[in-house]
Amino acid sequence: MFLRVLRFVRLPLVLIAIYAVMRFLMGPVFNQPYAPRGNAVFSVVGVTVLSSLIFGALSKRIGGFNWLGTILIGVVLGLFSQILIFAFTLISYAAGINSYYTHWDALNVPEGTLAPMSQAMASRAGGLLFGAISGTIVTLIGRALLGGLAPRPAADSERLP
């Protein structure tokens, strides 16, 4: 079932990865300030929530998954995004890069302070668990509330050539 889930969520995994890379590049490469608008441009959590809602809704009719499969979709999406956030935070600290991942607001520390690497990584490690749980909850909400809006797969005779 895990391989089926990975095949089913290929698109959101690619989108999450693109958002994570672009968020990393916003400060050091594109020289965009974190605030007031730079932070909202590539939100990894935002794209993860939307992907979880949509693919949770599609999980039964399109993916053919039971509730356990839907839970696994949420875990994969949530954990993948948090692994990327953890990795880019680690890369930023290790390379001495001032990226959006090391900004005081992203790490929930007092304004203007630079969190030590140990504090930042501990915070991001907690996100690994929280990300998997929250991704699962959002995916289940998507299936329960929006699953009825998902299209039914077309029969082979009705598909366009």
- At 18-29, the pLDDT tens digits run 999 999 999 999
Residue 7: how many CB atoms within 10 A of its CB?
A: 9
Please give the torsion angle defined by the CA atoms of residues 146, 149, 155 and 156, in that order, rounded to the nearest 10 degrees.
-70
Amino acid making up residue 141: I
Task: Tell me the C-alpha distance between 60 and 64, whole Å.
Answer: 5
Model confidence band, residue 154 (pLDDT cutoffs 50, 70, 90)? confident
Per the CB < 8 A criterion, the answer to whether 125 and 60 are in contact is no
Q: Which pLDDT belongs to residue 157? A: 59
The DSSP annotation for 101-159 comes to: GG-TTTTT-STT----HHHHHHHHHHHHHHHHHHHHHHHHHHHHHHGGGSPPPPPGGGS
Q: Which pLDDT belongs to residue 81? A: 98
State the chain's mean pLDDT as an integer: 93
Model confidence band, residue 39 (pLDDT cutoffs 50, 70, 90)? confident
Average pLDDT over residues 26-44: 88
Q: Which of 49-53, 76-80, 97-101 has the lowest mean pLDDT?
A: 97-101
Global pTM? 0.91
Inform me whether the pLDDT recorded for 139 exceeds 80.
yes
Average pLDDT over residues 6-24: 97
